[in-house]
Amino acid sequence: MDEERNVQPQRGQPVRSRRKKKYKILWDRVIVALVALIAVIVGIVMLISALVGAIKGALKKDDSSSAVKVQAPVVSSQQEVPESVVQPDDGTLFTVVIDAGHGGEDVGSTDFDGVRYEKEDCLRVAKLVEKHLKDMNVKVIMTRSEDVYVTLDDRCKIANESNAVVFVSLHRNYFDEEAQGVEVWVHNEKPETDTALAQNILDGLKGVGITQDRGVNFGYRGNEYVNYQVNRETNMPSCLVELGFMQDEQDNKLFDDNCDAYAKAIADAIYKTVKERELVKNLP
């Protein structure tokens, strides 16, 4: 450094000193500018971190609210619906939605020969369940009463706009290999009332006669982390009943021989659940 200083004065002195002066002023300004810049940067960083914090907070809120949304059907499933909401004004005791699976272009499963359609079995038993519930002075809303295609969204919409206390979806099963028996599906969060409804239905069907009790199951076949849409998006206690396997002759025969008895058992189980769980109070 000293060497440089010693050398520098040998150059043109006035220029040198002017330059020196200039540099000094510039450095002062640069320092001031730097301090200002640092202050601005610190300010911006603080602002950004505050914003990020706020956004994170907002996202967290969103997460929790969406989680609540996802769980809402389950929570409401377990909650008692106010009497004023569930009591129909036509003198019936309460409302139930019966969902005959598939329909129209969606035939569902078939038997081995492809001549027997799940959609027809579903509608057949659903109409009988409707009849038995009406005999008990229960109002029944059917998601379909004829051979028409109804989307899953619409089925859930019908249910959620119905003031129904219970939703039951009726299906028949299919498997490539040997399989037989009845199983009932409930939301994977295992809501108590839904589970009780499913178990009551299964017990009723067992009482009529089934090849095998495949139990109350949670979630979706092959994936317990997802749910059947009709269980996921209906706001009331719900379950999906698989009334035997389409490819199993014994199950088909039992279904044909006992269709009305199965329907009566399902209707009785629904009524029993609504009464036991006090979804509607003071039921006869």
The residues that touch Zn ion, with contacts defined as CB under 5 A, are 101, 108, 171
Instruction: Give the residue ranges of DSSP H helices in the chain.
Output: 2-7, 13-78, 83-86, 118-135, 152-160, 192-208, 229-232, 249-276
Would you say 170 or 274 has its CB closer to Zn ion?
170
Q: Residue 171 Cβ, how far from Zn ion at the closest point, in Å?
A: 3
Q: Which residue reads 């399902």 in tokens?
A: 266
Residues 6 or more apart from 72 whose CB is under 8 A from it? Answer: 235
The residues facing 245 across adjacent strands are 173
Residues 6 or more apart from 90 whose CB is under 8 A from it? Answer: 139
CA distances from residue 262 to 53, 144, 276 in whole angstroms, order as listed: 58, 19, 21
Would you say 119 or 139 has its CB closer to Zn ion?
119
Q: Residue 191 Cβ, how far from Zn ion at the closest point, in Å?
A: 22
Cα separation, 196 vs 245, whole angstroms: 23
Cα separation, 82 vs 278, whole angstroms: 11
Q: Residue 277 Cβ, how far from Zn ion at the closest point, in Å?
A: 26
Q: Residue 122 Cβ, how far from Zn ion at the closest point, in Å?
A: 7
Would you say 101 or 191 has its CB closer to Zn ion?
101
Cα separation, 136 vs 95, whole angstroms: 11
Burial of 234 per CB tally in 10 Å (0-12, 13-18, 19+): buried
Would you say 101 or 103 has its CB closer to Zn ion?
101
Would you say 126 or 165 has its CB closer to Zn ion?
126
Would you say 94 or 233 has its CB closer to Zn ion?
233
Q: Residue 119 Cβ, how far from Zn ion at the closest point, in Å?
A: 8
Q: Residue 265 Cβ, how far from Zn ion at the closest point, in Å?
A: 19
Residue nearest Zn ion (C-beta atom): 171
Cα separation, 32 vs 24, whole angstroms: 12
Q: Which two tokens stand for residue 54?
A: 């706020």
Q: Residue 46 Cβ, how far from Zn ion at the closest point, in Å?
A: 58
Would you say 144 or 171 has its CB closer to Zn ion?
171
